[in-house]
Amino acid sequence: MRKRVYITGGSSGIGLGLAQYYAKMGCDIILMARNQEKLDAAVSACNSVAVNSGQVIKGESLDITDYHSLAVAMDKVVSRDGAPDLLILCAGVAGNQRFLDTTADEFDRIVDINLAGSREVVRAVLPCMLQRRSGQVAFVSSMAGLIGLYGYGAYSASKFAVTGLAQVLRQELAGSGVRVHLICPPEVNTPMIAAESAQGVPQTRFLKDLVGTMEIDVAAKKIARGISKHQAVIIPGIRASIMAWTARHFPELFARSSQWLLRWKFGQQY
């Protein structure tokens, strides 16, 4: 039996990286994203690395913020292609803005896509996974879902929320046969990040450069390894792991050093 992998946000960035990784491993891949053109390109990118001719690689155009049509589309995919062995929730948007520059609508949009989008996909797919009593659900949160970074008010709120949702689900699904993984990547060299860096907040850039940027294929490999080892929380990269460890064990020290670093670089009124 070939492993079947569903990936939301699979047409670019980490999602596409993971899709190509699993295509190379000989898995069936169902990519989900909004933009049909990018989806087609992603499907052919996966096809080009597929290892055997019987491998199913498909794209499904859907909008995870449109709950009704999402549920219908998911039902269709599940009955056509079968329940996933691995569901990767990778669709997301960034938003690098100071809190007071972020409008209520913008905040709403970011939380809607990152939190509600993942939630609705899980709601649609989980029943068939539970029925088979097997499978893995991987939430792609972020380092910003573990630590607070300057310029990430809405983004951190949304990703912390994803972290919380994943942890509750892990607890509720323990023993059900379905495993839940939380993935917290540092900055990965993706189109989302390129767009952000162009108009982002310099303070955020400075702090993020301390952790460094990862290439997509490196991140995908590390994430896939964590998933295959059944790790509950997956933080790809040494520098990111150290950062997360420090923030978790010494939160006050972490917050104060962030302030200190910002003052050192940008002055008292950073």
Partner 1 sequence: MAGLKNPKTFFVSGGMSGIGKAFALEYVRRGADVAIFDLVLDDGVLKELQDARKNKSRQIVAFKSSVTDAGQLTGSVKQAVEAIGVPELAINCAGVQRAQPFAELPREDFELVVQVNLFGSRNFAAAVLPHMQQGGRLVLVASMAGFAANYSYAAYSASKFGVIGLGKVLRLECKPRGIDVGLICPPEVDTPMVVEEAKHMHPVSRRLKDLGGSLSLEEAMQGIFAGLDAGNSVIIPGTKAKMTYLCNRYLPDFIMNTVVDKIVQSELKKMASDPVSANRSR
- Residues in contact with partner 1 by CB under 8 A are 67, 98-100, 104, 107-108, 111, 115-116, 119-120, 122-123, 126-127, 130, 144-145, 147-154, 156-165, 167-172, 174-175, 232-233, 248-249, 251-252, 255, 258-259, 262, 268-270
Q: Which is nearer to partner 1, 1 or 229 (CB)?
A: 229
Active site includes 3? no
Q: Can you tell me the distance from the alpha carbon of 196 to that of 77, in angstroms, rounded to the nearest whole number? A: 32
Annotated catalytic residue within 6, 22, 38, 159: 159
Shortest CB 30 distance to partner 1, Å:
22
The enclosing H or E element of 9 equals: none
Shortest CB 20 distance to partner 1, Å:
29
Active site includes 229? no
Q: Which residues, at least 6 apart from 56, have a Cβ–Cβ distance to it below 8 Å?
A: 2, 4, 28, 29, 30, 81
Active site includes 270? no
Specify whether the CB–CB gap between 60 and 72 falls below 8 A.
no
Shortest CB 83 distance to partner 1, Å:
15
Considering only CA atoms, which of 27, 24, 25, 32 is closest in space to residue 7?
32
Q: Which is nearer to partner 1, 38 or 208 (CB)?
A: 208
Q: Can you tell me the distance from the alpha carbon of 36 to that of 34, in angstroms, rounded to the nearest whole number? A: 6
Shortest CB 40 distance to partner 1, Å:
31
Helix segments in the chain, DSSP class H: 13-24, 36-49, 67-81, 104-111, 117-132, 153-173, 191-199, 202-211, 216-228, 238-249, 251-266
Shortest CB 150 distance to partner 1, Å:
5
Per-residue tokens: 84: 């996933």
Considering only CA atoms, which of 235, 240, 233, 191 is closest in space to residue 213?
240
Annotated catalytic residue within 11, 12, 118, 141: 141
Q: Can you tell me the distance from the alpha carbon of 240 to that of 248, in angstroms, rounded to the nearest whole number? A: 12
Q: Which is nearer to partner 1, 191 or 251 (CB)?
A: 251
Q: Which is nearer to partner 1, 20 or 258 (CB)?
A: 258
**In the block, which residue shows the tokens 């993942």?**
118
Annotated catalytic residue within 12, 150, 155, 222: 155
Q: Which is nearer to partner 1, 19 or 227 (CB)?
A: 227
- Known catalytic residues are 141, 155, 159
